[in-house]
Amino acid sequence: EDALELERAGCFAIVLEAIPAGVAAVVTRRLTIPTIGIGAGPDCDGQVLVYHDLLGLYDGRPPRFVKQYADLATEVTRALETYAAEVRSRTFPEEQHTYSMPEDELALVERV
């Protein structure tokens, strides 16, 4: 009933989150506007997941309805730790990571 009221009020779509698949199927059949499911089963008109969840970009257990396609948290953490260590040891940035300019132009900047 709530979904029908939202449709009558002018909603262009409804997100159904973390509800039983059977309920989502009934709601989807009864509405004329699209339903977007997030943990609501396969019968919604569309599907969405939070990309942080599906890429594994955090520590912890994802919600039941999330299928993780990667474990990027480990890789991201490793990359950030390496970056921080290189900055602290002053091995980053290297010459290829900086912009240069002609010495005569730099001399003008130093005189300002």
Q: Report, as residue numbers or ranges, the catalytic residues.
A: 17
Q: Sort strands 35-38 and 14-17 into parallel, antiparallel or unpaired.
A: parallel
Q: Sort strands 46-47 and 35-38 into parallel, antiparallel or unpaired.
A: parallel
Per-position b or e across 61-76, b if 16+ CB within 10 A of its CB: eeeebbeeeeebbeee
Structure tokens at 89: 């040891």
